[in-house]
Amino acid sequence: MNNETLPKLEQLIDELINHNIRLNNELSELKAQNEKLVDENETLQLEVLESEEKQKETSQTLSGLLSKLQSATQAS
């Protein structure tokens, strides 16, 4: 090996190590973001289910009221 090869190799290794550190940090950030988004998604899904249940209850109540109104109208 000549005198330039070893320092160049050391420099490239340092660059690879630094790049690997940056990638690991980015990966950690992305994992944290993913966990947060998964939690938000689960929350939103629960909210949708609750909303659908409330809508179903409201629909049933309205249907019952309509039936009462129709019965009262027919009785008149």
The Cα–Cα gap between 31 and 39 comes to 12
Provide the residue ranges of all domains of the chain, joining segments of one domain with +.
Answer: 1-76
pLDDT tens per residue across span 34-56? 999 999 999 999 999 999 999 99
What's the pLDDT score for residue 1?
A: 60
> What would the DSSP string read from start to end of the chain?
--TTHHHHHHHHHHHHHHHHHHHHHHHHHHHHHHHHHHHHHHHHHHHHHHHHHHHHHHHHHHHHHHHHHHHHHHH-
What percentage of the chain reaches a pLDDT higher than 70? 99
